[in-house]
Structure 1
């Protein structure tokens, strides 16, 4: 185990003002607290906190972060307490250690709901101090480096969690080197054969062509020297997982990939970056569509660089990244650059993003998420995707995830603009709203007063901000529709018993039913969560009691039919829901009694070879109570007042609505299923005829379900 003096001296080397005594005291305290504890490898457990501290010292971080690394497992795994750490090392370090402890206890690989809620807690902890996450990422990296000592099942679980959560998060924070290593270790565990295959291909390529990296590096240096650009040039092979991901995305084999080699040009100034770009493009042909300028349009995590792909030596396509040394520091360490030291002082890198401002830009879009699933979706959409940069007509840059559409663009500017979007122009040409935007395009949003988000938009957008705003609008619109429908249902239900659906009566019903206000009652009526009978029962229970005592009230699930044997119970089959006036037949079903089918029910074909199960039935003569439920399907114009008028028509035919379900919503027409109660076939025919006579009804028919997946309908 590396002694405390070496760690303290390493920190002192980049920060002469470091408190070496406090680091040594934290080292001694942590070693004493973990005394006797062993890792799976058999090493003393404290070797792990020390390794995490050294990882963070390599990032040139402050004393508080280094000490937190040494103590990050003490509260969780030893008898140490928050109070004791605060007394010994101060409140700042105690809060950091406690924050890391909370992150360690989050099960980010658990079930969807728990994962979503834990993600919310993770970002809350980050928002208080990003150093908490820096320690946690270093902790995960060291654990992944030593993961071979765990049993295989746990290795796979940790690797999956790292690949899904920690590696993308490290990348989103700008710590690309850490993301690459975390992904490569996880890839080795999750898909070892694929990784070995790619490594073998690299070995074969080197044997066939030699090591081309030094040759191409020399070529680039010669070009830059000729252009009088003072710069460093580095070349590398892409990581196996990066190669594998490109193969999967492009559906191509290893030999067809164009950028398995990458080169970096580090210049003294931003001006030199563009001079170097011109020199490279003058010497080698640029590959169309493979140019990105992140210097003029930086990523939100502070990343700045020019990316281009050229056809280099022997026609090999290589990726070239061009940036300054300060940009390179941010590209390698991300938000950690905010705390880094140089020459003994906190180094103010002009390109380092303030982590708290950075976090606010990430979490701003999450405010509309109403539940944990929404939040998790936003995290994955907003944090773990590449970006495209588009422009408003005034030249302002709008950053969006890869795959974003004009609707995403509109909502990124303002929710009001997104809600009222009716079209878009990209580079001056009208395009469909589902068009995927590309880097550098200029987007103009066409708006119209009165326009509202459409349900289909949710499938077109990729940003959490847009999805949340669309869902919020649709929820409000759906509630307004349910309230309007509920008011009609309440009016019809109460008029049938000689009462009026006044606001006072509805408010009284809300109070008696435990709802907040009358709109909640109406919304539940419109959503079929409660029925008109429930409303009457809340206001006039004596009417319901009287109705229950009357001779006409009976259990609708037990129809009166003739032909059932002694002790047999008949139930209407849900596939055809037969009603009086239709010819019926019974099918004996073990454990369910007798299922009553209409004679033309398609399900009866399943019993053609079982004649012993068939029972001849017919309806009894008297059926005056409308208690047989049937489902009707109708297509109606999407216009003001049509739905209320249809509900009134059904009520005027002395039929009751028990449920309404919209199956398709278009700007001009709605398709819906309505469950109604009727006496018999004659009653149903009257209802269908009354609805069909309305000029705003395009189609109405009885709807029957078939359990095998088919659909049988009888048109009015």
Structure 2
């Protein structure tokens, strides 16, 4: 311990009952399930925390210690263990007070110290902006979650109390915190099955972000028509009577949808409040799984069910472990009534999610339990974060995985897989295994051959068709929705770009060494290792990639390596290198290391030259490009390149088209370009008057011949006065 650190024995002793503040009494009351010795630990934690935070206040003016104690109370209401409650009381001490992790470990044990450290934000580190800091803080929290799930429980309780006391913040802070809560923390609570906390976070976030909309919807719920409220009483009495007649022990609970869920339904389905009919519903809680299906038969005999609105989440649980039967009934006044049927165990897990593991021990360790599902989800996130380039990219991937709805799909062997809403066959492929995704070429859905971009629906049987020669395409990122697929595709594309860069760099260095009458194979190993060590390259591949990307000039590298070749003179050939006469041939598919200049838009068939640009690799220009004259001033950066026999892909081109300015002219030109099997990227008017319009068409073609065909078709149009390549 450094001299600046406080000794824990300097903190005041635990107070007796008469001296305890009311907020500590409320915590102990909520933690009534703990033995007395453990409740004394809570007092000790409060005593240490209060002394550590002494002099610190919240924006509301209250002593700061009231916040962490309130966080512990939220967790006590969920039935959490004493270590979690102690960590909650002390969760801001490492960040905001002189207390260290070592101090906490000495007094309260290593588990408490680990939990506190996991929750601690990274505000003390320097980031480019608040957004990056929040993303990095989230990444750290996830890694701590992987070690102990209780970290996220403390974080959620911390966010819940902050939302309850949001009024003291500025308007800007309220909006930022509310948006973050709705985008990240409420979906995490839902993903972990903690519906009670999720519902309150959503309601508080909605109220802070859209106070007027929240107030209007809340008032409409309270002032529902008398007829509808009376019908609900009638339905409740009828269902209770029918269930009792069947000798089913049950609890029947009426429920009202929250303002947030009603607002989201209105927003997504473009409905008015009056059109959102199923605002009210019922929950039937019974003793066993067979009783659930028995109760389902009872309610379906009492009221007719709506077709296609029945969901069996008992046989196929949600990804967060949630289990229940959902059905929608025709009510006596034509209003649909939602009914959920579940067991007591399922009800506890539905409300508390992973928190139920600590307060309710029956069946909490099975493969479908909320606890084990949460662990597998977090394990997949940890795998994902290892592959992402930045914290912001990782956070975006996590947001994608927090979709509230899932689709449930079957593998060819009959196993069930859950994926986010709107997932495609390619998302399914990556969910099976990264290698399956990387090699995917098509899919069979319910026995029918479909492309990889096909969206999937619950209940479908999916089989992925692979090929060894297949590799990920950049276009795949446009239609995958799962975080794992997005991360895997980006990682593989980076790997392919690196391989392309290594190959191109190898060819460029070989050309430069040929001029010096040597080669890479004839370069002594010691000299090569010395050069790599001098410039801190871990491997030869890293140097070759750097050459391709323009960060090292091949001529300079060749000179350095050739100087030490035995028997070579240090004459003119080495000191004044000339450019190699052989061209490097390109296919256009070199990823990340070859780009095509926007100033002249070169196409296969054009005479071209390359200009070596730091960080960009080789930028290809047409030889007749006006900018080439400027590049002549740096001949060492010229790269002699040409087109390979096999050229693949589509290339950008631009046409200047002059037409009669009359209705339908643009449509005729667009149709002619489409008939020539060319895509139009963009159209803009360059000049326009009453008689003539001059337009620029940005299109995609395969080569010069294809472009010539497009121009011929356009020239044939009667409305076209002239066509010119730009």
Same-fold call, TM cutoff 0.5 = yes
Rounded to whole Å, the distance in 2 between the matches of 1:106 and 1:332 is 37
- 1:533-555: CA deviations, max 9, x gaps? 444554569769965999xxxxx
Deviation at 1:96, TM superposition (A): 2.9
Evaluate the alpha carbon distance shift between residue 331 and residue 675 of structure 1 in structure 2; reply closer, same or farther with a 3 A threshold.
Answer: same
- 1:73-129: CA deviations, max 9, x gaps? 344444544444444433333333343334787999964433332221010122232
Corresponding residue SS for 1:417 = helix
Aligned to 1:145: 164
Task: Structure 2: state its 5+ residue gaps.
Answer: 1-20, 564-570, 580-596, 630-640, 657-683, 687-694, 699-706, 708-723
Within a 5 Å distance, the mapping from 1:64-463 to structure 2 comes to 64-102=83-121, 111-207=130-226, 209-210=228-229, 212-340=231-359, 349=364, 351-354=369-372, 356=375, 359-463=378-482
Evaluate the alpha carbon distance shift between residue 109 and residue 231 of structure 1 in structure 2; reply closer, same or farther with a 3 A threshold.
Answer: farther
Evaluate the alpha carbon distance shift between residue 312 and residue 518 of structure 1 in structure 2; reply closer, same or farther with a 3 A threshold.
Answer: same
Evaluate the alpha carbon distance shift between residue 234 and residue 481 of structure 1 in structure 2; reply closer, same or farther with a 3 A threshold.
Answer: same
Evaluate the alpha carbon distance shift between residue 70 and residue 451 of structure 1 in structure 2; reply closer, same or farther with a 3 A threshold.
Answer: closer
Evaluate the alpha carbon distance shift between residue 372 and residue 140 of structure 1 in structure 2; reply closer, same or farther with a 3 A threshold.
Answer: closer
Rounded to whole Å, the distance in 1 between the matches of 2:80 and 2:651 is 72
Aligned to 1:570: none
Aligned to 1:674: 620
Within a 5 Å distance, the mapping from 1:534-549 to structure 2 comes to 534-536=556-558, 538-539=560-561, 547=576
1:519 aligned onto 2:519: no
Deviation at 1:250, TM superposition (A): 1.7
Corresponding residue SS for 1:503 = coil
Rounded to whole Å, the distance in 1 between the matches of 2:452 and 2:119 is 44
Deviation at 1:494, TM superposition (A): 4.7
Rounded to whole Å, the distance in 1 between the matches of 2:284 and 2:244 is 12
Rounded to whole Å, the distance in 2 between the matches of 1:699 and 1:370 is 27
Give the TM-score taking structure 1 as reference length.
0.73
- 1:374-401: CA deviations, max 9, x gaps? 3222211224443221111111111211
**Which one of the candidate residues 17, 31, 37 is aligned to 1:11?**
31
Rounded to whole Å, the distance in 1 between the matches of 2:520 and 2:222 is 83
1:54 aligned onto 2:23: no
Rounded to whole Å, the distance in 1 between the matches of 2:535 and 2:314 is 62
8 Å CA contact 1:100, 1:132 repeated in 2: yes
Corresponding residue SS for 1:404 = coil
User: Aligned Cα RMSD in Å?
Assistant: 4.3
8 Å CA contact 2:411, 2:461 repeated in 1: yes
Evaluate the alpha carbon distance shift between residue 494 and residue 78 of structure 1 in structure 2; reply closer, same or farther with a 3 A threshold.
Answer: closer
8 Å CA contact 1:634, 1:700 repeated in 2: no
8 Å CA contact 1:109, 1:115 repeated in 2: no
Aligned to 1:634: 603
8 Å CA contact 1:163, 1:186 repeated in 2: yes
Corresponding residue SS for 2:458 = coil
8 Å CA contact 2:190, 2:404 repeated in 1: no
Name whichever of 238-247 and 450-459 sits farther off.
Answer: 450-459
Give the TM-score taking structure 2 as reference length.
0.72
Corresponding residue SS for 1:373 = helix
Rounded to whole Å, the distance in 2 between the matches of 1:504 and 1:260 is 79
Q: How many residues align?
A: 605
Rounded to whole Å, the distance in 1 between the matches of 2:628 and 2:351 is 78
Rounded to whole Å, the distance in 2 between the matches of 1:272 and 1:186 is 37
Rounded to whole Å, the distance in 1 between the matches of 2:38 and 2:649 is 81
